[in-house]
C-alpha cells in the first residue's frame, strides 16, 4: 500500500501433472534403453571421424578384451585402428558416402593382439550443416561362423575331388550335394541334372 506494506498476494497456478507424468515416462524409457544397451550381447559403439571412442557398451568392451570402457577409450582408432589389415579409411569413405553400412564384415584385434571377425551395421550422424558428428553402430562377433564356413569349403573341395561317390540329401530325401564320382556312377553328366531330385529315383533304377 502507500505505506509500502504488503496488502495481499497475487499468484497464478499451473497444473503440471501431465508434464510430470511425461518426465517420469521419459526417465523410465531412458533407464530401459540404458539397461538394454548394457545387457545386450552384441557390441554397440559411437566413434568420431578423428578416431575417438565416445561410447562402447559392456559387450563390445569385453569383445575387444578390455576391462573397462575407460581403458578402451584410450585407444585412438585413427592411430591404432582395430587390426593391421583393417582399412578404416575405406570404412569412413563408404559410410560417409552412403550414410550407413549394412552387413560390413572385417577383422578386428583384441587388446592382446588376437584377431577375430566381425559383422557390423553402422550409420553416419550429421549436424544441421551436414558435418559428420560421429558414427554409431552394432557389432557381432562372427569368428565361429567364418571358421565354420572355411571348414565347409575345405570339406566341399575334398568331396568334389574324391573318387568315391558322395551325396547329401535333406530330411525329405532331396539331394542337396552330389560330387562328380556320384554322377558318373549313376550315368549323369552333371550334378545340375540331379540336385533337387529325390533319392527314390536311384532305388527305382536299382529295382529296374
pLDDT tens digit sequence for 40-94:
788 999 999 999 999 999 999 999 999 999 999 998 888 765 555 567 888 888 9
Our separate counts of H helices and E strands in the chain read: 7, 7
pLDDT, tens digit (0-9, with 9 covering 90-100), for 137-153: 999 999 888 888 777 77
Question: Whole-angstrom Cα distance, residue 47 to residue 134?
Answer: 5
Q: b/e map of 126-158 (b: 16 or more CB within 10 Å)? A: eeeeeeeebbbbbbbbbeeebeeeeeeeeeeee
Q: Tell me the whole-structure pTM to 2 decimals.
A: 0.60
Amino acid at each position: 500500500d502507500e505505506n509500502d506494506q504488503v496488502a495481499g498476494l497475487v499468484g497464478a497456478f499451473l497444473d503440471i501433472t501431465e508434464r510430470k507424468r511425461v518426465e517420469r515416462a521419459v526417465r523410465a524409457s531412458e533407464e530401459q534403453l540404458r539397461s538394454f544397451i548394457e545387457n545386450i550381447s552384441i557390441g554397440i559403439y559411437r566413434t568420431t571421424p578423428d578416431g575417438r571412442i565416445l561410447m562402447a557398451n559392456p559387450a563390445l568392451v569385453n569383445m575387444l578384451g578390455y576391462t573397462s570402457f575407460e581403458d578402451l577409450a584410450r585407444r585412438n582408432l585413427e592411430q591404432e585402428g582395430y587390426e593391421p589389415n583393417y582399412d578404416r579409411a575405406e570404412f569412413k569413405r563408404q559410410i560417409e558416402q552412403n550414410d550407413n553400412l549394412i552387413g560390413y564384415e572385417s577383422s578386428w584385434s583384441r587388446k592382446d593382439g588376437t584377431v577375430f571377425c566381425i559383422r557390423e551395421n553402422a550409420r553416419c550422424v550429421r549436424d544441421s550443416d551436414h558435418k559428420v558428428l560421429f558414427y554409431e553402430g552394432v557389432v557381432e562377433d562372427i569368428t565361429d561362423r567364418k571358421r565354420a564356413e572355411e571348414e565347409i569349403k575345405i570339406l566341399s573341395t575334398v568331396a568334389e575331388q574324391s573318387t568315391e561317390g558322395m551325396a547329401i540329401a535333406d530330411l525329405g530325401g532331396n539331394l542337396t550335394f552330389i560330387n562328380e564320382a556320384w554322377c558318373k556312377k549313376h550315368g549323369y553328366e552333371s550334378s545340375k541334372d540331379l540336385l533337387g531330385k529325390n533319392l527314390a529315383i536311384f532305388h527305382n533304377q536299382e529295382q529296374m
